[in-house]
Amino acid sequence: MIRLGVNIDHIATIRNARGEAFPSLIEAGLIAETNGADSITVHLREDRRHIKDNDVILLRQTLKTQLNLEMAATSEMVEFALQVRPDFVCLVPEKREELTTEGGLDVLGNLDHIGNVVNVLQKNGIITSLFIDAEEDQITAASDLDARAIEIHTGKYAILKSDYYESDEFFQIKDMAEYASSLGLIVNGGHGLNYHNVKPIAWIPQMHELNIGFAIIAQSVFWGLPKAVHEMKRLMQEACSSRG
């Protein structure tokens, strides 16, 4: 069955808006786990705009499933990851001024640097994934570096308003998921996925895990977090069950 990674960064955004200790990241993580999350994702950004170092440390100690740490491939972050030991690291590009992660990592253009980071993390038992666009040369580069996994950036697909199954963006992700899997990579996906567009991506046979944040946390304002997580997982499982 396909896995759901719930990104809880925006629980921290709400908490930080008033400088309070609530809503609690730990409570959010545990509620998400109880309602269908297979892992919990947090992005420790260089500017610490939402998640703080201590959040990651406390989540590591409390979560019952698995912790996926999104981070830039900097020496500061590598040192932190080696200290906290998340189950997974997803390496993402990071520009201070962007609203969210806007494009995939350029693995091909930074082979030596990203290769070293992947090597150090994986040698220390942390399964490492590269967040990349659905492009053949980037996937080949990820495989050449022996990264265990990739996360395909679904952002361009996610901004479509309809006809998901007929779109070029969908076919590109589907074909590239098949290609990556043929190279032995674990294939995950994420960015911009929501209750309307998630099913075609969850239907792709090679998709192992989807990481979803904003849509779930935003919808939880109306539904509550248990239902928001549960409904996303239900849609994903329905699509997964109809795979060929």
Which residues does the annotation mark as catalytic? Answer: 43, 70, 191
Q: For residues 110 and 144, is the Cβ–Cβ distance under 8 A?
A: no
**Dmax (CA) of the chain:** 49
Whole-number Å distance between alpha carbons of 53 and 4: 23
Q: Which is nearer to ligand PXP, 134 or 244 (CB)?
A: 134
Q: How far is the CB of 244 from ligand PXP (least distance, A)?
A: 26
Q: How far is the CB of 212 from ligand PXP (least distance, A)?
A: 4
CA dihedral angle for residue 103, residue 104, residue 108, residue 113, rounded to 10 degrees: 100
x/- contact string, 69-108, with ligand PXP (CB under 6 A)?
-x-------------------x-x-------xx-------
Q: How far is the CB of 131 from ligand PXP (least distance, A)?
A: 4
- With CB under 6 A as the contact rule, the residue among 3, 50, 174, 191 that binds ligand PXP is 191
Q: Which is nearer to ligand PXP, 179 or 214 (CB)?
A: 214
Q: How far is the CB of 1 from ligand PXP (least distance, A)?
A: 19
Q: How far is the CB of 142 from ligand PXP (least distance, A)?
A: 14
Binding positions for ligand PXP, 10-39, rule CB under 6 A: none
Stretch of residues binding ligand PXP (CB under 6 A), selected from 79-87, 167-175, 184-192, 235-243:
184-192
Instruction: Determine how many CB atoms are found less than 10 A away from the CB of residue 89.
Output: 29
Whole-number Å distance between alpha carbons of 244 and 167: 19
Q: Which is nearer to ligand PXP, 34 or 100 (CB)?
A: 100
Q: Give me the residues paired with residue 67 across strands.
A: 40
Is 233 one of the binding residues for ligand PXP (CB under 6 A)? Answer: no
Binding positions for ligand PXP, 198-217, rule CB under 6 A: 211-215
Q: Which is nearer to ligand PXP, 195 or 214 (CB)?
A: 214
x/- contact string, 122-161, with ligand PXP (CB under 6 A)?
---------x-------------------x----------
Q: Which is nearer to ligand PXP, 234 or 244 (CB)?
A: 234
Binding-site ranges for ligand PXP (CB under 6 A) = 7, 9, 43, 70, 90, 92, 100-101, 131, 151, 190-193, 211-215
